[in-house]
Structure 1
Amino acid sequence: MNSESYRELDGEPSKSSLEPAVLFLSGHSVLDEAATPTPLYQVNCDITSTSNKDSSLVFERVEHTVPGLKLEDEDVTVGASRKTPIFYLAHPLNAQYRTDIPAKYYITAALPEMAGNIRLDTSESRLQKVTFKATLSPGKTASHQPLFDEVAQQLLFDIRPQWKLGRSCYKWSDCDGKQLAVEEHMGDTYKLSITTHLQQSLRDALVAVWLLRLWHDTAESKQARKECESSRAPLPPVYYSKLWPPP
């Protein structure tokens, strides 16, 4: 789905589109890299920490009304805020072994006015680089069963790795190949540079999928897998007694 057709779902005139912006992740918040950084979105846990064992997260849009309020745990002064849950991010427990889930990583809409549910799929490109595709099931929400429409689903974002010395980079495009954003990660800095005008609902979806992709990187990392292996409980002695003596 390209940005033009998404506008029809959004139901807003083009004059309401948002300017290009540089966003970055700080703890639980996504902020606008402006002179005074302003939180725009929030999740309820740190998706970049391997200690996060949650299987679902709440993704909220932050709207500001009254200036001069200092956020807790953030060295940022912003307006009084109202948080609205708009998506749920999901990575089901033991997803790699299950066949009863629609995808290992997916997003469901918390509100019916959002565009729909989104699944994130991966594949390996040349040089063993992982590419991502986010597909949208229009009109679906968290309350629908099934969550995804295999017939009507549409490509929303095509996310491909780009080589840059010393950093991890991805180019985000729509189904027509139009660049929407560039993602960069170096050290503890996670940045998403939105390079074109977007409707609010498309930017909401873009940022939500970005955080889901980062969650994927954390959960699939060597460190996370090592911690998972070490945390597995040993089998009880009765199990081994059944194996001895051998038949």
Structure 2
Amino acid sequence: MSQPTTYILSGERITTSSPLPLYDISKTLDSLTHRTTSIQFSRAPNPKLDDGTSSITSSRPTYTPLYNLIHPPNAQYRTDIPSPFYLTNNSTPPTNSLGNIKFPPSFAPSLKKKYLLPFHKPTFTALLNTRSTSTTSPLFPRESESGPKGKGDLKVLFVAKPSRIGKAWEWLDGERRVVAKEEGGGKGERESRLVVIAKDAMKEEELEALLALWVLRLWWDISEERDFQNEAMMELTPPEAIVDMRMSKMNKRVGALGGFAAAGGAC
């Protein structure tokens, strides 16, 4: 049985026990706002050549783009998008990564929803379309039924589900076997960790898809924050409606004070 490997997301870099970066994201989690619609997930250059010398010759080496992580604007209110969260294969040529991947939650977010227990959170299913890339039109070609493990070219790659204990999330493969577990993460935390249990049993492209999906799931955490959602809602609301809401609140307050005064005030 292989030893677990812990991947650490700190800032824009994903590393393991070595400080050398393995992967890069184009935006840090704590910089995301409701206007952010995409993050690029890239592979770092191999830090060592065959002779043991470094292949990195500059402070900002060239990374290989693998996936675009997408969260369309106002995704929770739209029906014209593949999923509120998804990945597009951005490698050129797409030989070392998989196709486009839908990553829908099991239910839609809500401003009023409160997750009283960790397992009240949605489950995410990563649905891989093997014949699609970022240049495919449409991004997810029409799928047809082909059995419980997928629909046509759409294959269940991973499932992320909340643990019943604490804030951890578990990742399962298409056979419902646990392959990874999360530790920490979210806005305000310095580092997030993904402990991959079954690394040796996974192909490199599957591992890289898992890491990209992990970042996308952390993005969902941030998108669920009340301030994040309130900002998005205010941007959707016409200015005149904002004035009407403020006037309504003021009238209610004045009415309440008037009723209080009519009753003779406090005794």
How is 1:165-204 mapped onto 2 (pairs within 5 angstroms)?
Answer: 165=166, 168-185=167-184, 187-196=189-198, 197=200, 198-204=202-208
Q: 1:29 to 1:53 in 2, by over 3 A?
A: farther
CA distance in structure 2 between the aligned counterparts of 1:233 and 1:121, rounded to whole angstroms: 26
**What is the Cα deviation at residue 220 of structure 1?**
2.0
Q: Name the TM-score, length of structure 2 as normaliser.
A: 0.69
In the alignment, what sits opposite 2:14?
Answer: 30
Q: Which residue of 2 aligns with 1:55?
A: 37
Distance 1:184 1:207, change over 3 A: same
Determine which structure has the larger helix proportion and give its number.
Answer: 2
**Structure 1 position 50, deviation (Å):** 4.4
Q: 2:132 maps to what in 1?
A: 140
- The runs of 5 or more residues in structure 2 that have no matched partner are 108-114, 145-152, 245-267
* Structure 1 residue 236: Cα displacement: 4.9
- Structure 1, unaligned runs of 5 or more: 1-17, 73-79, 241-247
Which one of the candidate residues 71, 95, 98 is aligned to 1:115? 98
Which structure has more relative contact order (CA 8 Å, sep 6+)? It is 1
- State the identity %: 30
- Tell me if 1:39 matches 2:39: no
- Root-mean-square deviation (CA), in Å? 3.0
Aligned residue for 2:206, secondary structure, equals: helix
Q: CA deviation at 1:118?
A: 0.4
Residue equivalent to 1:15: none
Larger CA deviation: 217-226 vs 227-236: 227-236
Amino acid paired to 1:209: L
Letter in 1 for 2:135: S
Displacement of 1:27 = 0.8
CA 1:99/1:52 → structure 2, altered by over 3 Å: closer, same or farther? closer
Aligned residue pairs total 211
Shift of 1:39: 1.1
CA separation of 1:188 and 1:153: change in aligned 2, threshold 3 A: same
Trace 1:67-216 onto structure 2 (pairs within 5 A): 67=54, 81-111=61-91, 112-113=94-95, 114-123=97-106, 128-149=120-141, 150-151=143-144, 152-165=153-166, 168-185=167-184, 187-196=189-198, 197=200, 198-216=202-220
TM-score, L = length of structure 1: 0.75
Aligned pairs for 1:213-232 (under 5 A) are 213-229=217-233
Post-superposition CA distance 1:49-84 (Å, at most 9, x none): 443632112111012245497996xxxxxxx84410
